Amino acid sequence: MKTESMNCRLGCGACCIAPSISSPIPGMPNGKKAGERCIQLDERNLCKLFGDESRPKVCSDFSATFDVCGSTNAQALALITELEELT
């Protein structure tokens, strides 16, 4: 698999759905469970907090890579779900 960085695919949202997030998120003070859609993900699968200082650090620190995000949105969801299950 390729490990180089890539630009996020707008409307993917896999990193906002597949992993559990233990950090508080505005509107989700206890974070979120794996597979649970983040409340801050809009109907177009875009983060409502992108660029906002209230966005959790764990979200801001995430960088898309081909080995995590694959070539399609469906592949990203499957890969991140698998990584979540392995950890």
User: Which residues make Cβ contacts (< 8 Å) with residue 14, sequence separation at least 6?
Assistant: 69, 73, 76, 77, 79, 80
Domain residue ranges of the chain, discontinuous segments joined by +: 14-86
User: What does the pLDDT read at residue 17?
Assistant: 98
Task: Fill in the DSSP letter of residue 53.
Answer: T
User: What does the pLDDT read at residue 10?
Assistant: 95
> Can you tell me the distance from the alpha carbon of 20 to that of 22, in angstroms, rounded to the nearest whole number?
6
User: What does the pLDDT read at residue 50?
Assistant: 94
User: What does the pLDDT read at residue 1?
Assistant: 53
Backbone torsions φ then ψ of 75, nearest 5 degrees? -65, -40
User: What does the pLDDT read at residue 3?
Assistant: 74
Splitting the chain (87 residues) into consecutive groups of 10 residues, what average pLDDT does each group show?
Answer: 82 98 97 98 97 95 95 98 96
